[in-house]
Structure 1
């Protein structure tokens, strides 16, 4: 009897926690970042970003570098591997649009390269070279 009362008490508070936790879950971006998991590496010459984008066609991925920010966007339109006369019983693959941005300063924008292979987008962003004869002026 006591265990039954404790379980009812826990069920009530678990339900209340789920209700009050809804706004955090609604705005939580962890689900988004799971879809575009990425690694960003840096060396003396460039930044290298590897982004998992499985199930997307290369033509449905767009890249843009502007004001020190690399924006990556992708879309999945429809899945055509379901037989015509069948109905879906369970669906986990999503259809839609997703994007992420990365702040990467001092990049030579005209030298950025990218390749998409086996569901992984690799973007190489060469750093701008700092010329020893730059035109900076020292203030005394």
Structure 2
């Protein structure tokens, strides 16, 4: 009996912690990573990144590569599929702006290309070939 009372207390306390912890979870970087789940593959010639971005329009996704960092961002407006006669009882589909960055050195920025298909963004970043850039310093 005492154990049952203790468990009820713990359940109530855990529920309160979840409620008051919500703002931290909302702004936590790990939560953003869950929204933009990605795979990064590397081989000798290129990096290939696949990022899940469901429900986003292609024109609302932006890519930028600068100083060895690829930035991926996207935004989504509110959904208009609710009729005026209905009241929303529960909503989980979010609206807003999300972004992620990946550090990928030695990429030929002018040859990066991306494709968006069925909610998955695939970005191919060709690597610079050895000797392609003239960053070496000759010692006399």
Distance in 1 between the 2:135 and 2:6 partners?
Answer: 74
Q: State the superposition RMSD in angstroms.
A: 2.8
Query: Which has the greater radius of gyration?
Result: 1
Q: Which runs of 5+ in 1 are unaligned?
A: none
Q: 1:132 to 1:26 in 2, by over 3 A?
A: closer
Residue in structure 2 matched with residue 65 of structure 1 by the alignment: 65
Q: TM-score, length-normalised on structure 1?
A: 0.83
Aligned to 1:39, what secondary structure does the other structure show? strand
User: What is the DSSP-based 3-state SS (H/G/I as helix, E as strand, rest coil) of the residue aligned with 2:63?
Assistant: strand
Give the match's secondary structure for 2:44: coil
The two structures have a TM-score, normalised by structure 2, of 0.83
Q: Does the aligned pair in 1 maintain the 2:77–2:95 contact within 8 Å?
A: yes
Give distance in 1, aligned partners of 2:134 and 2:109.
19
What residue number does 2:47 align with? 47
**What 5-or-longer segments of structure 2 have no aligned partner?**
none
